[in-house]
Structure 1
Amino acid sequence: MTAAMVENDRVPRRRPWDFLLQAWRELDVPEGWRAEIDGGQIVLVPPPHAHHNGIADTVQRTLYRDLPGTLGVYQTLGIHIAPLDKLYVPDLVVMPTELIAAMDADISDPVDASEALLVVEITSKGNAKDDRTKKLWAYAHAPVPTYLLIDRFDEHGPTTTLFTEPQNGAYKLSERFPFGEQVRLPDPFGGILDTGAFPG
């Protein structure tokens, strides 16, 4: 990840979140990159590897097989973790479609992370630690009920970990699956995610 030009000493003292959010809205991000807000600064995340995109496609197809029509799977959707004043753009987010439809078409605002039912992060070499630690902690604080971490760079080999039941800023349950195994997704997602179908 690369930090953008917004530094803490330039943020107005009274409302730093409002300043950062306005800068995020107005930022001209290069195609394929994502801008996030973390630690009082705007961070640019570079485009992912093709295998990363292939995994995202496999997960999205799996979700749509069993997902009710009232829920959608969204890419490049900014979500605001209000208790921590963080803004992340996960690889995939499952949200109620009515919330997305109700958003103001003229304002590029993030949605409240507490409205997300599932967040999916797929690690890249440069951000794997953040997905395993900072984002895990943040999504539990939101709280997002289900966090699916697909870690291609785990030191013990590629794994998928399903985190559920957030409580007091931590997930109570986690299930870890080496690539090649099947992951049973909880309701309302249903279905089986076959990690053996992941590329690379």
Structure 2
Amino acid sequence: MTAATIESDRGSGHHPWEYLLQTWQELDVPEGWRAEIDEGQIVLVPPPHAHHSGIAGTVQRRLYTNLSEELGIYQKLSVHVAPLDKLYVPDLVVMPTEVIAAADPETSEPMDASEALLIVEITSKGNAREDRTKKYRAYARAGVPMYLLIDRFDTRGATATLFTEPNEDGTYKRSDAVPFGKPLPLPEPFGVTLLTGDFPG
């Protein structure tokens, strides 16, 4: 992961977040890369490994099994964590289709993370720590009901963890973790079991 630090132009009268967001919107990001805003800087995230994309595809197919038409699953959807002025681009986001339909087609404003029902992050070697700590805390602060962390680089072995019941202090009250190869039940409105043994790699 590489980071490009953008200093706020204090003479412009803009709030630092507004300046960073405007800069983010104007970036010409290389194909396959993602630009996020974290800790007052813009971070460029390189394209993922093929296995990473394979896991995302497997999870997405499973989530759609019983999913209502009122919910959609979106890849590379930017979300704003308003309490912390952060902007992330998760691997998968489950959000009401009406929220997506109501987005302004003339702007590239990120969606409010608090509107998400589930956010999925799949770790890469370069970002595993951020997914386990910063993003965990951010999604909890935003009130995202479910955070699914698929950690291929956990020191205890590859693990999938579903965090639920977010607290305003940036933690989740409950976590259900399984090693790759074991099933992980996902509650309603999904009502499916994630078969981690189907993950590539």
TM-score, normalised on structure 1?
0.97
Equivalent residues in 2 for 1:1-200, closer than 5 Å: 1-7=1-7, 10=9, 15-168=15-168, 169-200=170-201
1:5 positional shift:
4.4
- SS of the residue corresponding to residue 56 of structure 2 reads helix
CA deviations on 1:134-171 (whole Å, 9 max, x unpaired) are: 00000000010000000000001100000000012210
**Which amino acid counterpart does residue 100 of structure 2 have in structure 1?**
I
Find the aligned partners of 2:88 and 2:78 in 1 and give their Cα distance.
Answer: 6
1:66 positional shift:
1.2
Identity of aligned residues (%): 69
- SS of the residue corresponding to residue 129 of structure 2 reads helix
- SS of the residue corresponding to residue 65 of structure 2 reads helix
Runs of 4+ residues deviating >6 angstroms: none
Find the aligned partners of 1:67 and 1:110 in 2 and give their Cα distance.
Answer: 24
Find the aligned partners of 1:5 and 1:32 in 2 and give their Cα distance.
Answer: 20
Q: What is the number of residues matched between the two proteins?
A: 199
- Unaligned 5+ runs, structure 1: none
TM-score, normalised on structure 2?
0.96
- SS of the residue corresponding to residue 156 of structure 1 reads coil
- SS of the residue corresponding to residue 156 of structure 2 reads coil
- Unaligned 5+ runs, structure 2: none
